[in-house]
Every structure is written in structure tokens, then in C-alpha cells.
Amino acid sequence: MTYSTISAYVGSKSRARERIEAIELLIDSMMLRITEVAEGTASTVDEYELNDGQVKIRTKYRSIEDVEKGIKSLLTLKHYYINKYNGRQTVLRDVRGLH
């Protein structure tokens, strides 16, 4: 199956855990692309492609900073789904218990 955008790919997953895994795969691929640019094996970050055999996504970026912003956005989205999957908890402590 081919998705034209990252949001379509993540949106195709029906469960929070599946979306977390999809986002992790996207982030790993983007980090590898930054590494390729840093080591000089890729001259620019003009196109990023994810192809895991089932999905093919192609996205264009103008610079490494654009890729970094994309990664940060995906991390925020990942944390949203982690909180949705695990639930959020708050622990309240009396100030006397902090000594």
C-alpha cells in the first residue's frame, strides 16, 4: 500500500500502539537521513523516502533544520499517543514527604 503523506500513513493505523510504532519508524528513517548528510554521503536533504515493503512515503525538505523540525513534531505526536495508550498519572506529595 502506498501513502503519499506521513499523516496518511500514521492515520492508516487504527490503534495507538500501531501509531507509536509507525512514528518510531518514521523518526528512525529521518535520523538516518540526517546522518547521511552529516557524514557526506548525501549532499542535501532534499527528499526523504520511507519504504518498508508495505508503505512508500516520499517527502521533500529544504534543509536539515526542516528535518529536525519534522522529527520534533513527530516526537510530540508520539508522546501524545504514548499518553493515550498508557494513560496519564499525577502523583501528589505532601511537602513534608520531600525531606
Domain boundaries, the chain: 6-86
Contact 1, 54 (CB under 8 A): yes
pLDDT at 98 over 80: no
The pLDDT tens digits for 22-81 are: 999 999 988 888 888 778 776 665 666 677 776 677 777 767 788 888 899 999 999 999
Q: Say what the pTM is.
A: 0.70
